[in-house]
Amino acid sequence: MKISSTKYTGSFTQLADCPDPNRVEFAFTGRSNVGKSSLLNMLLDRKELANTSKNPGRTQRLNFFLINDDFYFVDMPGYGYAKRSKKERQQWDVLMRSYSRYRMNLECAFLLIDSRIAPQDSDIEMAKMLGAFGVPLAIIFTKTDQVKKQQLNKNIAAFKDELLKIFAFLPHSFLTSAKTKTGREELLTFIQEVNATAKQDL
């Protein structure tokens, strides 16, 4: 799939303020500093469309990008940022839960996992929440160029073992690198296929 146009349509803290749910949506979520903005920029073939920052926790809202005037990418707030206040964490929790549970045109949530490290409790909890709400889930392992292959395989296998404690079947997974663009074509093909099937029901 070719990305021919990308339009930033707004950032929202309330589900009621989001764009009309008349197009398929793909959400991207993960721990702060997992490389979500870099991944989005890589997919969209843009340098700075999705903000990147050395300070994690920058994304505080649901950021919507209209792709090819056809479907949305939704950049969700990062979680697990220790310096966020209790009030901010509560607001984040309400926003994430309401969007994941009630956004009926959300056809896939991409859960980004740092491939360099062992499974994290916060990532497992996010997978559980999305599963409990019946949100179709796919896993994106990020930063695969920054870890040796043996350790990469070990970390991925460990995370998949944790997922099998939650799900009867493993969700789709992708190995990516924003630097080398590894996984870009596979992800875009997957998105194209899901969108073509799902928009028939909208």
Q: Distance between CA atoms of 112 and 125, rounded to whole angstroms?
A: 13
- What is the maximum span of the chain, computed from C-alpha positions, in angstroms? 46
> Are 119 and 158 spatial neighbours (Cβ–Cβ below 8 Å)?
yes
What's the whole-model pTM score? 0.92
Given a cut of 60, is residue 52 above it in pLDDT? no
Which pLDDT value is given to residue 91?
78
Closest CA to 171 of 128, 119, 114: 128
Taking the CA atoms of the chain, what radius of gyration do you get in angstroms? 16
Angle at 75 between CA 73 and CA 78, to 5 degrees: 155
What percentage of the chain reaches a pLDDT higher than 70? 91
What is the bridge-based pairing of β-strands 172-175 and 137-142? parallel
Edge-to-edge order in the sheet of strand 71-75: 6-12, 62-67, 71-75, 25-30, 106-114, 137-142, 172-175
For residue 3, pLDDT beyond 60: yes
DSSP secondary structure letter of residue 56: S
Residue 53 pLDDT exceeds 50: no
For residue 109, pLDDT over 50 is answered with yes
pLDDT digits (tens, 9 = 90+) for 133-157: 999 999 999 999 999 999 999 999 9
Mean pLDDT score of the chain, rounded to an integer? Answer: 90
Domains of the chain with bracketed CATH: 6-201 (3.40.50.300)
Query: If you average pLDDT over residues 45-73, what whole number do you get?
Result: 75
| Predicted confidence (pLDDT) at residue 201 exceeds the cutoff of 90 | no
Distance, in Å, from the CA atom of 188 to the CA atom of 194, rounded to the nearest integer, reads: 10
